[in-house]
Amino acid sequence: MALARALAKRPKVLLLDEPLGALDKNLREDTQLELIKIQESLGVTFIVVTHDQEEAMTLATRIGVMNEGALVQTDEPHTLYEYPNSRFVADFIGDINLFEGVVTESTDALVRLASAEIDADIVVPLGLGTPVNQSLWFAIRPEKMRLSREPLDQDGNQVAGVVHEIAYLGDFSVYWVDLDNGFRLRVSRPNISRVDAFGEAWGERVYVTWDGDAGVVLAQ
């Protein structure tokens, strides 16, 4: 009713401040789709203020992330999630694994970071023009990483550890892996089949690998 009253005046811009905060999960998801239909049919610009990241990603065509009152990145949801421009945005949007490393090799074809945090090399198949010895950060989402019980024959981008905890969330499962030096990684796997090969892997030693282009290199 509040939305109908606001739209009756045919505004050019409509501000929605936490519009779905009081709804339960299923009703909130249904209402999100209804809001998208209304916005597309009327052509009214909606500015939605929300602390729910999933709601922001669902509703928005563009998202602005604020830090201490300042906009630090404004982009489409996909770009914001896959290509954050800083450690703050990477850590704020979704779940992330973030490692600091020092450039040990930099060519037109790749950049190699030596990370003491995970005690491994991170190889990014992209020339960034960064000088050797510069400190950078590598950010990678949990769903971009893989679990295996045997090491893979690849250059870098591989660590070993023990499965500390597993959270079954229905459509996917989350694994917390403690590396040999104590650093903890978060890895997620979609539950494509009913039987997960790592479903009862508590305490097992596993290997975590990833593709070099699966994450982003950040300078700040």
Contacts 24+ apart (CB under 8 A), 63-72: 65/89, 65/92, 65/93, 67/92
The ranges assigned to domains in the chain are: 2-92, 97-218
Whether residue 84 is predicted with pLDDT greater than 90 in this model: the reply is: yes
Predicted confidence at residue 51, as pLDDT, reads 80
The architecture CATH gives domain 2-92 = 3-Layer(aba) Sandwich (3.40)
Whether residue 58 is predicted with pLDDT greater than 90 in this model: the reply is: no
* CATH dotted code for 97-218: 2.40.50.140
Q: Residue 175 — pLDDT band, cuts 50, 70, 90?
A: very high
pTM of structure: 0.82
What does DSSP assign to residue 104?
A: E
SS3 of residue 20 by DSSP:
coil
Contacts of 62 (CB under 8 A, 6+ apart): 74, 75, 76
At 102, give phi and psi (nearest 5°).
-115, 135
